[in-house]
């Protein structure tokens, strides 16, 4: 029945239809803007947007439950088509009154003296943070787990610790000077955002059109802040 509905929708073209997208919680800071721009060109299309953590993203891919998934590092154990469409710089953030806030070229080892706030186990942000610190041979000291990026940002602002976060999640806090990005040696660490679906999946005309739009237009809609020492 789902395939029959898809064929009927394709007969109508891209101007109508419904798209199911599953996105990482940190991607939800920019995906609505992408969808708004796409929908401005196709006002009669609708979307079901599911925001979840990494475990939920992998489950959606395993179950083939979403037309498209937007995430960080795709899992290697599934047969997927994954295309990177935007850089994902990761930065260390602190409250403006933190002793390191005005320091330059902070040595990596200095971070081991700080407490870091982290997401729950299974979160892509936490897994990425652990990989980054392991690559840099740093031992991470954590005192508090939080279930959302918003909670982590508020915790950092309150002085509970530092955090490693995607720069795209910090637009408002940076503008209001509630948080500052520390000038740490070797940071930002740049990964990528991917748009993903199961290999062999038949994308509807609408899904293919949105995927093409993301690949083509994201850099114009979501500018990546210029940051020194990107690597």
Span 98-104, average pLDDT: 95
pLDDT of residue 134: 87
**pLDDT tens readout for residues 3-58:** 666 666 665 555 568 899 999 999 999 999 999 999 999 998 999 999 998 999 99
Assess whether pLDDT exceeds 80 at residue 140.
no
Task: Let me know if the fold of 2-86+192-221 is the same as that of 88-190.
Answer: yes
Share of the chain above pLDDT 90, in %: 66
Span 162-183, average pLDDT: 94
Length of the chain: 231
Assess whether pLDDT exceeds 60 at residue 152.
yes
Q: Are 10 and 2 in contact (CB under 8 A)?
A: no
Span 214-219, average pLDDT: 96
pLDDT of residue 142: 76
Domain ranges of the chain: 2-86+192-221, 88-190
Least confident of 79-93, 117-131, 165-179, 184-198: 117-131
Higher pLDDT, 57 or 130: 57
Angle between helices 31-41 and 205-221 (to 10 degrees): 120
Q: Give the pLDDT band (50/70/90) at residue 231.
A: very low
Span 166-174, average pLDDT: 92
CATH number of 88-190: 3.40.190.10
Assess whether pLDDT exceeds 80 at residue 61.
yes
Span 121-147, average pLDDT: 81
pLDDT of residue 137: 84
Pick the CATH number of 2-86+192-221 from 3.40.50.12160, 3.40.50.720, 3.30.470.20, 3.40.190.10: 3.40.190.10
Assess whether pLDDT exceeds 60 at residue 228.
no
């Amino acid at each position: 029945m789902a395939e029959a509905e898809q064929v009927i929708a394709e007969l109508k073209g891209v101007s109508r239809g419904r798209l199911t997208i599953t996105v990482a919680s940190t991607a939800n800071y920019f995906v609505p803007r992408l969808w708004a721009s796409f929908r401005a060109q196709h006002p009669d299309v609708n979307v079901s947007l599911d925001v979840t953590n990494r475990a939920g993203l992998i489950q959606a891919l395993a179950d083939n439950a979403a037309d498209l998934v937007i995430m960080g590092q795709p899992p290697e154990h599934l047969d997927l088509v994954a295309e990177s469409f935007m850089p994902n710089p990761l930065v260390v953030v602190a409250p403006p009154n933190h002793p390191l806030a005005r320091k330059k070229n902070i040595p990596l080892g200095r971070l081991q003296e700080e407490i870091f706030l982290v997401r729950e186990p299974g979160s892509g942000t936490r897994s990425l943070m652990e990989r980054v610190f392991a690559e840099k041979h740093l031992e991470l000291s954590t005192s508090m787990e939080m279930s959302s990026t918003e909670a982590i940002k508020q915790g950092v602002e309150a002085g509970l610790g530092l955090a490693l976060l995607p720069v795209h999640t910090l637009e408002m806090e940076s503008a209001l000077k509630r948080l500052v990005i520390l000038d740490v040696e070797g940071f930002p660490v740049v990964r990528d955002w991917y748009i993903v679906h199961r290999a062999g999946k038949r994308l509807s005309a609408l899904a293919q059109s949105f995927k093409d739009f993301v690949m083509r237009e994201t850099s114009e809609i979501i500018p990546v802040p210029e940051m020194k020492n990107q690597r």
